[in-house]
Structure 1
Amino acid sequence: MINQLDLPPALHDYIKKSGVALALSAIEDDAPLLVVNKAFCDMTGYSEDEVVGHNCRFLQGPDTTDSARQPLHDFVHGNGGDSGRFPILNYRKDGSAFHNYVFMSRLKDTGGQPQFILASQFDMTTALKRSQISLNDEKLQDVLSDVGQIGREFGLAMMGSAGLLADSIALMAKLTFDDSQR
C-alpha cells in the first residue's frame, strides 16, 4: 500500500499548505486516506494520526442516507467520470452533524492510470440552514428551482463558487502530480 513517504513531495506539500479542507486517498483497497491537511482536521475534529489509513466513511453517521452514500461508493470504486460532487451528511469527532459538500477527482499518472483520489470538502451547514432547505437530498432536489432566487441573499451562491474552487484545486493538484511524474 502507498504511504505518505511514497507521495510526490510537491503534491504532499500542496495539500498541507492549502487552506481548503483536503484529503488524499489511495485508489486501491478501501481507498485509505494517505494525507489530510489542517483545514480537514479543523472541520472534522479528528487529528491526522486518527484518520490516515482509514476510509473517509468514518465521517458518516446514523442520519447519513444510503442515497447519499452510494454515489461516493461508486466513485471510489472507479465508476463514473474523473471528478464528481457529492453532498453528504457527515459527523465530526464530537458527534455533531455537518453538511459536507465533497468534490473528488482522480489523479492519474503519466500513463493515464488513476493513482489517488483528491477530495476537497466544504461545510455547507450554515448556508443550508439559512436558506431553510431540507436536510435530505430528495427535498433539496425539490427546491433547487428556488435556489436561484434566494441564493445570493442566503449565501447559496457559495455552492457554485465552492465547485469552481474545488475544480481549481483539483486542477492544481493534477498539474503538481503530473510535474512530479516527469
Structure 2
Amino acid sequence: MTASLELPDRLAAYLQRSGVALAVSVCEGDAPLMFVNDAFTKLTGYTEDEVKGRNCRFLQGEGTSEEQRQPLHDFVHGLGEDSGRFPILNYRKDGSEFLNYVFMSRIRDSSDAVRYIIASQFDMTNAMQRSKIRQNDETLRTVLSDVEQMGREYGLAMMSSAQQLADSVAMMARLSLRDTR
C-alpha cells in the first residue's frame, strides 16, 4: 500500500479506540480493507491480518441474498449518495450468522476524489430484545458524544443519529486528509 493511502495517525487512533466496529477500505481495485479496529475483529472473529487486503464480501455466505448484496456492490462502485445504510446477513469466522447493519460513507480528499470508504457495523441480530436496543443506543450515544467533541474542535456541529455517526466519522476523515496536505 502506498504512503498516500495511509490513514492520518490521529484518525486511525480515534477509529481504533472506538467501541463501534469500524473498517476502512481503499477505493481502488476490489476495495480491499486497509484498516479494521478491535471492535470489528471482536464482532467478526477474524484478526486484522486475516482481513487486511480483502474485500468485505468474505463475511457473506450461503444465506446472504442478492437483494442484500447488490446495494453494497453499487455503493462500493460509486453509485448513489456518499453515505448509506445496508442490512446484510453476514457470517463470523466460526460460521455463526449475524444480521449486520452497515453504515458506509465515501471519504473524499481536498480535490473531491474518493479515497476511502469507511463502514461501521452493528450486530442487529438480537435488536428486537429491548435490553439489546438500550445497550446499542447507549453505545451509540457514547460514540456520538466523542465524535461531536472532535467535531467541535473543527468548528462543526454534529447531530445525534445512527446515520450521522457514519457521516460524522467520515467528516473527521475528510478533515484529517485535508490537514495532512
Q: Which interval holds the TM-score relative to the shorter structure? A: 0.7 to 0.9
- Cross-structure match for 1:142: none
Report the Cα offset of residue 20 of structure 1. 1.1
Aligned mates of 1:126, 1:6 — CA distance in 2: 35
Q: Structure 2, unaligned stretches of length 5 or more?
A: 141-159
Report the Cα offset of residue 153 of structure 1. 8.9
* Structure 2 residue identity aligned to 1:172: M
Distance 1:3 1:49, change over 3 A: farther
- Cross-structure match for 2:110: 110
* Larger proportion of helix: 1
Aligned mates of 2:5, 2:132 — CA distance in 1: 43
- Cross-structure match for 2:153: none
Aligned mates of 1:52, 1:178 — CA distance in 2: 25
Report the Cα offset of residue 3 of structure 1. 6.8
1:34-74 deviation per Cα after TM superposition (whole angstroms, max 9, x unaligned): 01000000000000000000000000011100000000000
Aligned mates of 1:106, 1:2 — CA distance in 2: 19
CA RMSD in angstroms comes to 2.5
1:61-109 deviation per Cα after TM superposition (whole angstroms, max 9, x unaligned): 1110000000000000111111111110100001110011101111111
Distance 1:65 1:3, change over 3 A: farther
Distance 1:21 1:179, change over 3 A: same
- Alignment partner of 2:29: what SS? coil
Distance 1:52 1:31, change over 3 A: same
Residue 178 (1) aligns with residue 178 (2): yes
Report the Cα offset of residue 174 of structure 1. 2.5
Distance 1:62 1:4, change over 3 A: farther
Contact residue 23 and residue 35 of structure 2 kept, 8 A = yes
Report the Cα offset of residue 5 of structure 1. 7.3
Q: TM-score, normalised by structure 1?
A: 0.78
* Structure 2 residue identity aligned to 1:107: I
Q: TM-score, normalised by structure 2?
A: 0.78
Which of residues 113, 116, 133 is equivalent to 1:155? 133
Aligned mates of 1:4, 1:63 — CA distance in 2: 37
- Cross-structure match for 2:86: 86
* Structure 1 residue identity aligned to 2:117: I
Residue 70 (1) aligns with residue 73 (2): no
* Structure 1 residue identity aligned to 2:180: S
